[in-house]
Chain A
Amino acid sequence: MTPSVFDPGLSFTAVAETGLSEIDSDTGELRIQGFSIEDLAENAAYEEVAWLLFNGRLPTDKELAEFTNELSSARSLPENVYSLIQAGAEEGVPAIDVLRMGLAAGNLYFDSEDTLRATRRVVAICPTIIAAYWRYRRELDPIPPRDDLAHTENFLYMLSGVEPAESTVEKLETYLTTIIEHGLNASTFAARIIGSTGSDPLSAATGAVGALKGPRHGGALERIFEMLTGLDDGMDPTTYVRERLEGDGSLPGFGHVLYNTRDPRAKIIEQAAERVGEKQDSTSFLRNAQRLEAAAEDYFTERDPERQLHATVDYYAAVLLYELDIPPELFTAIFAIGRSPGWMAHYIEQLESETLLRPRTRYIGPEERSWISRSDRYVAGDSSPPSSDHLKGISSILGTLSEPARLELLLILYESAEPLSYSSIRAQSSIEDKGRFNYHLRKLRSIYITNTDAGYSLSDTGRKVVEMLVDDEQLLARTIG
């Protein structure tokens, strides 16, 4: 079957039905299983929202206690995985790479035959891996998980070795809950593709972490943080915004592809950051970020009121995590802690749909080559030129061009920005006889012209030939003149 649609980012193609989350771009609303994200961030414990994603409703007290217990009993890692994490930390490998290594080995010392149990394992070990990594990075021994502590609290405990302040736990939990799920971004989609083959949850999560690592995805947090630390109190934010946007054109943390409005999650995280500030009185970082946002809003409004870019959740996440004393080296990996239940819930949805994701390609390579033995291959500068005996083939290829009708066909294709259909070339050509036309077209195919589903176009070689005629030495103009 020839594909009828070419959509390289798939941004115009719906690939799955989901009951997990819904985004309204116009009103700037995000709903998780029907609950507004504001509602969940304010009221729910992290484990509660994870349970909601897995089960489609809120848990009872008993169900929540069982789930919390299931997670806390799946947190431990074997010695060999600790050695792997230590090696990564000592080599200065980024946290997100070490998270990939740890998750990939997550079925060691764990009976992961049961798919649902394995999804809990993924959620449970992300914090253990990241905390151990950070301990090793500071040349400290890792702290084993404590199963009497809840998910978020235990993570902070494993990082520092002391029981964290309740207010810190609460704000980090707000962050993790707010980002728990957000539709088919690249990492979630990677998890779904892996699930589509019937593979296991640890494989899916490992793939998702791999995608999250990319600077176009989770990697944005670190760039935002760098930008914000580069601001000092004396700098004029308006000048800064203008210089950046008129310089390399980038302003990390602004413009979410799915929202016309400000990202609804940005507000939740900004408010959490403000609450940290009330107590700690160290809010110059937050205030600088807010001033920068205001300046950016003004700039975008002035530039084009129809096309404004607003702050994303990542923008204030960088502020909040910094204010909670979380090391910036862990920002992207902590995003994975938050998002892992979303990945797993999508993985299960895909698994249950029993649909293999196997898209098509558009082939733009050579049509058909024949094998050349090793000693006959010639690459300028790397081997000695072949003798004339071996050059008969190329001379016949060049001979194909010594026919005005064929050059005309090449020039017709050169003038068109898009591939041309057979009938359209035929209409433009001066060759009247259909048989002659077909003959010349056929002679040019494969070397000079390619024919794809979209129509005929010049091959790279064909284009170079025409360019030599029209541009380099103006050969064509000279001879026509």
Chain B
Amino acid sequence: MVIGGRGEMDFSKALSPILPSLYISMVDQELHRGLEDIAVAETRLSTIDGEAGELIIGGYPVEELAKNALYEESVFLLFNDRLPTKSELESFRTELAGYRKISEEIKQVLRQAARENADAMDALRMGVAAANLGFDSTESTDHAKRLVSVIPTIVTTYWRYRSGKEPVEPRDDLGHTANYLYMLSGEEPDPAAVRGLETYLNTVVDHGLNASTFVARSIASSDSDLVSAVTGAVGSLKGPLHGGAPGPVLEMLLVAHESDDPEGYVQEKLDAGERLMGFGHRVYRTRDPRAEVLSRAAERLYSGSGDRAFFGFVEEFEETAVSRLSDHKPDRKLETNVEFYTAVLLYGVGIPQELFTTTFAVSRVGGWVAHCLEQAADNKIIRPVSIYVGDHNRSWTPAENR
């Protein structure tokens, strides 16, 4: 164990101990339940300053990256630690476009999931778990690209079946984002919708070690493969505590919009002791920087297309909610979080609410696989310690005596 300059404990250089019991004696007997005070990995991919409300992805402030980049560019950045040149970007896009197809067996499973009205996240887990069928490569970087490419196909195939339609084959002359929208609707998408979705995909592509990224790294730490790691990540993203699920925000906004009385709606919720969806974040003490980026993107999208009134209402609602929340709980700063404007933006882009969480996965898979590659490059198996709190010495009782 190395004690660093500021009293920080650094176990990364701890020598392999002579005996397991000696190393076990070094274990801190204090329980770190949520691990929020422990750094588990070094990363170059993103960093969050919760106090200042800053998020840096691949060295770029999220504000810069989100509005400028193509999603493929963000993924290239995460894989290579720099932006691609024009020709690199072109070949990267072509390569990704070549990895989009899924096998017939996966389609059948997705069709069954749709028939049974399984959750979109369950369907995504089924599809991703089988993503190596019909894909022959032993290179982990190829698997990384494959996973990024195939998730939109799985999500849209499921959704087409859910809507009683045949799936739309991917089109390799379209970019990643446009092709996703194309496979959903079967029509070439509006460029403004593509740009709006592209901004969203860039914005949430990586965000430190949330539970899904952490499980991906943990699976990768046994030297397992990327398909396994991403399947695990999808499984954890499904959980309601994970975040990234803006569906309930949209429901709330639609109901409130119907009432056309943001003041009254917010007051009623707060008086009833209910939570307002879309406000407050575990990490950020300020407005989530991603909320800012997405609200600008939504503003651009809505100003160009039909439902301007809805966006005007949303802005009014946000202002009212933030101010009422601060009256309501002056000690806790509850600012707009990423889910709030995700709901608004994705609704504007035309993504069905049932696919909000899977669309988050369409983006975050870039971060998941980049984290796995980073883990593999400097790997230590993740095997934490538990504290035993059960009975100590029991002995066998035959069944008749129980």
Contact = CB atoms under 8 A, between A and B. Distances in A.
B207 to A, nearest CB: 10
A454 B5 contact: yes
A209 B241 contact: no
Contact of B40 (A10, A84, A372): A10
B18 to A, nearest CB: 5
27 contacts: A12-B28, A14-B27, A14-B32, A17-B388, A18-B388, A34-B391, A59-B402, A100-B129, A105-B126, A108-B109, A210-B224, A213-B224, A214-B222, A217-B222, A219-B222, A258-B20, A259-B20, A358-B210, A358-B214, A361-B40, A361-B42, A367-B56, A374-B86, A374-B89, A375-B86, A378-B85, A383-B86
A357 interface: yes
Nearest to B398: A43
Interface string B1-40: 1101111111110100011110110111111111111111
Contacts of B387: 14, 16-18
A361 B209 contact: yes
Contact of A197 (B38, B60, B128, B241): B241
A377 B76 CA distance: 14
B222 A6 contact: no
Given A100-B129, A260-B20, 19 more contacts: A1-B50, A10-B38, A13-B385, A16-B31, A16-B384, A22-B392, A58-B397, A97-B227, A109-B112, A210-B232, A219-B222, A260-B19, A355-B34, A358-B209, A366-B59, A367-B56, A418-B2, A419-B4, A421-B5
Contact of A21 (B8, B130, B388, B397): B388
Interface string A1-39: 101111111111111111111100110000101111001
Given A14-B29, A187-B222, A211-B232, A359 B40 contact: yes
B228 A12 contact: no
B381 A360 contact: no
B259 interface: no
A307 B220 CA distance: 29
A101 B125 CA distance: 9
Contacts of B44: 363-366
A108 B20 CA distance: 44
B238 to A, nearest CB: 5
Nearest to A214: B222
A35 B219 contact: no
Contacts of B68: 371, 373
A369 B239 contact: no
A153 interface: no
A185 B386 CA distance: 10
B163 interface: no
Given A6-B11, A97-B132, A34 B109 contact: no
B66 to A, nearest CB: 10
Nearest to B240: A198
Interface string A200-211: 101110111111
A480 interface: no
A194 interface: yes
Interface in B55-82: 56, 58-61, 64-65, 68, 81-82
B215 A207 contact: yes
B248 interface: no
A257 B129 CA distance: 30
Interface in B99-136: 103, 105-106, 108-109, 111-113, 116, 118, 122, 125-126, 128-130, 132-134
A13 B21 contact: no
Given A17-B31, A207-B219, A366-B59, A10 B382 contact: yes
A219 B38 CA distance: 29
Contact of B4 (A86, A199, A454): A454
Contacts of A11: 11, 23, 27, 383-385
Contacts of B353: none
B221 interface: yes
Interface in B201-248: 208-212, 214-215, 218-225, 227-229, 231-232, 234-242
Nearest to A211: B219
Contacts of A355: 33-34
B47 A363 contact: yes
A325 interface: no
A9 B399 contact: no
CB-based closest 9 A-B pairs: A197-B239, A214-B222, A210-B228, A203-B235, A207-B232, A19-B390, A104-B129, A365-B44, A199-B239
A7 B20 contact: no
Given A10-B385, A365-B43, A382 B112 contact: no
Contact of A34 (B209, B235, B394, B398): B394
A39 B26 CA distance: 31
B231 A104 contact: yes
Contact of B231 (A100, A212, A357): A100
Given A210-B229, A418-B4, A362 B42 contact: yes
A392 interface: no
Contacts of A195: 239
Interface string B81-104: 111111111000000000000010
Most chain B Cβ neighbours within 10 Å, of A217, A373, A383: A217
Interface string A93-120: 1000100110111011100000000000
Contacts of A184: 383-386
B297 interface: no
A107 B126 CA distance: 10
A65 B45 CA distance: 52
B179 to A, nearest CB: 20
A64 B111 CA distance: 37
B224 A357 contact: no
Contacts of B402: 57-61
A324 interface: no
Interface stretch (A75-83, A160-168, A283-291, A428-436): A75-83
Nearest to A215: B223
A180 to B, nearest CB: 15
Contact of A100 (B38, B42, B228): B228
B371 to A, nearest CB: 9
Contact of B38 (A35, A359, A379): A359
Interface in B260-292: 282
